[in-house]
Amino acid sequence: MDKDISYGNDYKFIPATSIGNGLGIEVLPDLYCYTIQIVNIVLVGNPKNNDFVLVDAGMPHSANEIMDVIEDRFGRNSRPKAIILTHGHFDHVGAVIELVKEWQVPVYAHELEIPYLTGKESYPNPDASVEGGMVAKMSPMFPNEPINLGNHVETLPSDGSVPHMPDLRWIHTPGHAPGHVSFFREKDRALIAGDAFVTVKQDFLYKVFTQELEINGPPRYLTTDWQAAWESVKKLEALKPSVAITGHGVPISGETLTDSLQKLVQNFEQIAIPDYGKYVDKRKH
């Protein structure tokens, strides 16, 4: 079975980094955010009871680092109950094949992401022409061919529940990717937003490097449906989260989160939607 699971042919190390690289932040006692180069992984679960899941699987070639982070937090030979994906872009599944081989745990994703995770469909080519900075320009080198997790990947339950994490529910937040999901916990209003919105201007290399806090819509070069992306941000804002971990950038909480999410919803066209690019049609807005 394992011999059938693999990355796409264009899988490779991407030389991009930020000052957050290698930094772990305990956002809440059972919510830990760790930055792999330029992307965040999240460990949900309290280290006291060893019952946890991994949300997203980092950059290509980061499996050893992820296993080290987990050993440091949960102890030797710890493994999550499952890997849960916000979506299947290369920077969120970069180590998933090695991790599944090592841990033999299931991966869960929204049903609309399954074709990109089972070798059936490639993501659209990144838009290097989109209005934006250097990261957009380097985006043609990003892997977009599908990985193949075979029958190791399962569809998230349709009732909104999250396997092994009874307090969490998943919310469909498409736009950046068709089956993009975010995770929300009612009791403390904690949100794992994935790339539905981010707290760094991801298109700009300098800002990615410094991780300067700046709430923004999803990374532009990979977002194909801006209207849906806007609706998704509205959905998340309506939940009034108290703290949010995003796929890129630093965690954000309290008034800063409330205010900037509101601002993003109200000014999504100016803040998030690029002025030009192949997936942009401003006439529709």
- Give me the residues that bind Zn ion (CB under 5 A), please: 89, 91, 195, 247
On whether the CB atoms of residues 139 and 126 are closer than 8 A, the answer is: yes
How many CA atoms does the CB half-sphere of 29 hold within 13 Å? 6
Closest approach of Zn ion to the CB of residue 176, in Å: 5
Q: Cβ neighbours of residue 76 under 8 Å, at least 6 residues apart?
A: none
Closest approach of Zn ion to the CB of residue 219, in Å: 6
Closest approach of Zn ion to the CB of residue 248, in Å: 6
C-beta nearest to Zn ion: residue:
89
The torsion of the CA quartet 132, 136, 137, 138, rounded to 10 degrees, works out to 150
Closest approach of Zn ion to the CB of residue 77, in Å: 29
* Cβ closest to Zn ion, residue 10 vs residue 71: 10
Which residues is 53 bridged to in the sheet? 44
The torsion of the CA quartet 63, 154, 156, 159, rounded to 10 degrees, works out to -160
* Cβ closest to Zn ion, residue 148 vs residue 223: 223
Closest approach of Zn ion to the CB of residue 178, in Å: 12
* Cβ closest to Zn ion, residue 241 vs residue 247: 247
* Cβ closest to Zn ion, residue 91 vs residue 98: 91
Closest approach of Zn ion to the CB of residue 124, in Å: 12
Distance separating the N- and C-terminal Cα atoms of the chain: 47
- Can you say whether the dihedral through the CA atoms of 279, 61, 135, 176 is positive or negative? positive
Number of C-beta neighbours around residue 222 at 10 A: 25
**What are the strands, taking DSSP E only, across 102-173?**
107-109, 153-155, 168-172
How many CA atoms does the CB half-sphere of 37 hold within 13 Å? 18
* Cβ closest to Zn ion, residue 30 vs residue 91: 91
Closest approach of Zn ion to the CB of residue 92, in Å: 6
* Cβ closest to Zn ion, residue 164 vs residue 215: 215
* Cβ closest to Zn ion, residue 89 vs residue 185: 89
